[in-house]
C-alpha cells in the first residue's frame, strides 16, 4: 500500500507552486505550473494550470487516491464564482479527496510563522494577516488598488509618476525620478506620462513595475524618493498595527515577504522600527517557510 501524501498549491498571477509532503511534513515532490488567478489570467489558462497540477499529483506514488488532503491558496477565492470554478475544475480532473480553498494571505501566514503573530505582504498590493495563540485570525488591507493597497508596488509606482509630473511643472523641486523615468520609459514630458498611464494597455502590473525606480533614486539621495519610501513604510506598519491590536497580541512573530519589503532595505528597516515601537512583544523574523509550504501544512491539518 502506498504511503499517503498531502498537497499544497500556491497559486499566483504568473505561476502556481505545487508541493507534496508526507505525513510528517517532509517534502516529497514539487513543481511549478501556470497561473491560478482567474481574474488576471482567465478561466481557460487557469483551467489548464489546474489540469497540469492534477496530472503532476496523479504521477505520484499511489496517484490521486493517495492524496489525503489538498489546499489551494490563491487570490479571489472569497468570490463564490471563482471558488466554485476552482473546485469544480479540480473535481472534474478526478480528484475526490479532501479539498480546501484559502486566500493567498492565509497560506502565506501558515508558512511564514509559528504560533501567534502576523505576515506582512507587499508585492503589487499589500495586506497583513495575523493569528493569536488560540488560532483566531485577523487581516488588514488587501482591498484593491482603487481604495487600498498602500505601500505596495502599485501605490509606489503611482507615487513615482505623481512626483515626476509635479517636478516637471514646478510644484516640486527637481527629482532624480524624472531622469530615471525618461531612461526606462522614454517619458520626456508630463503629457507622455499621462498618455501612457491612461492607455487601455496600462494596468496595475505596469504601474507597479516602476516601483524599483524609487529604490534607485533613494540610492542617489533623492528627497522625493525618500518621501515616497517613508510614506510606504508608514502605511505598511499601519497594517501590522491594525492586526496586532485587533488580536490584542502581547507578543508574536512578524515575517515580511513580497518584493517591496525584500528588495528595498530602507522600507524593511523603517517598517521594522515603526512596528517594534507600536506593537508590544513584536519580533521580526525571516519567513520560516514559503506560502506553498503553508498550504501543505494546512493540508496536513485536514
List, for residues 230-267, the tens digit of each pLDDT value: 999 999 999 999 999 999 999 999 999 999 999 999 99
pLDDT at 1: 47
pLDDT at 2: 63
Report, as an integer, the average pLDDT of 13-33.
95
pLDDT at 272: 98
Short-list 124, 134, 3, CA closest to 67: 3
Question: What confidence category does residue 78 fall into, taking pLDDT thresholds of 50, 70 and 90?
Answer: confident
pLDDT at 229 over 90: yes
pLDDT at 71 over 60: yes
| Angle at 71 (CA atoms; ends 74, 122), nearest 5 degrees | 35
Rounded to the nearest angstrom, the gap between the alpha carbon of residue 119 and the centroid of all alpha carbons in its chain is 10
The pLDDT mean for the chain works out to: 96
Cα distance between residue 8 and residue 101, in whole Å: 10
Alpha-carbon distance values, 247 to 81, 130, 153, 251, 273 (Å) = 30, 8, 27, 11, 20
Amino acid at each position: 500500500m502506498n504511503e499517503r501524501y498531502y498537497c499544497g498549491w500556491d497559486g499566483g498571477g504568473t505561476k502556481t507552486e505545487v508541493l507534496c509532503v508526507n505525513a510528517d511534513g517532509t517534502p516529497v515532490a514539487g513543481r511549478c505550473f501556470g497561473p491560478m488567478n482567474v481574474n488576471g489570467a482567465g478561466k481557460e489558462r487557469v483551467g489548464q494550470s489546474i489540469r497540469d497540477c492534477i496530472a503532476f499529483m496523479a504521477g505520484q506514488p499511489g496517484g490521486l487516491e493517495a492524496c489525503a488532503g489538498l489546499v489551494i491558496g490563491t487570490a479571489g477565492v472569497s468570490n463564490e464564482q471563482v471558488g466554485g470554478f476552482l473546485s469544480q475544475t479540480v473535481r472534474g480532473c478526478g480528484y475526490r479527496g479532501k479539498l480546501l480553498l484559502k486566500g493567498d494571505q492565509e497560506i502565506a501566514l501558515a508558512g511564514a510563522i509559528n504560533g501567534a503573530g502576523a505576515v506582512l505582504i507587499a508585492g503589487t498590493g499589500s495586506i497583513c494577516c495575523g493569528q493569536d495563540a488560540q488560532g483566531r485570525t485577523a487581516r488588514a488591507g488587501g482591498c484593491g488598488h482603487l481604495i487600498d493597497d498602500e505601500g505596495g508596488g502599485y501605490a509606489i509606482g503611482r507615487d513615482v509618476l505623481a512626483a515626476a509630473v509635479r517636478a516637471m511643472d514646478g510644484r516640486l523641486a527637481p527629482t532624480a525620478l524624472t531622469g530615471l523615468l525618461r531612461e526606462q520609459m522614454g517619458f520626456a514630458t508630463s503629457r507622455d506620462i499621462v498618455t501612457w498611464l491612461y492607455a487601455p494597455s496600462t494596468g496595475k502590473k505596469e504601474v507597479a513595475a516602476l516601483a524599483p525606480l524609487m529604490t534607485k533614486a533613494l540610492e542617489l539621495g533623492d528627497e522625493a524618493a525618500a518621501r515616497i519610501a517613508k510614506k510606504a513604510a508608514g502605511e505598511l506598519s499601519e497594517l501590522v498595527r491594525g492586526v496586532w491590536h485587533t488580536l490584542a497580541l502581547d507578543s508574536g512573530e512578524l515575517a515580511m515577504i513580497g518584493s517591496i519589503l525584500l528588495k528595498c532595505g530602507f522600507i524593511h528597516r523603517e517598517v521594522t522600527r515603526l512596528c517594534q515601537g507600536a506593537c508590544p512583544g513584536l519580533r521580526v523574523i525571516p519567513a520560516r517557510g514559503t506560502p506553498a509550504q503553508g498550504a501543505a501544512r494546512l493540508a496536513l491539518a485536514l
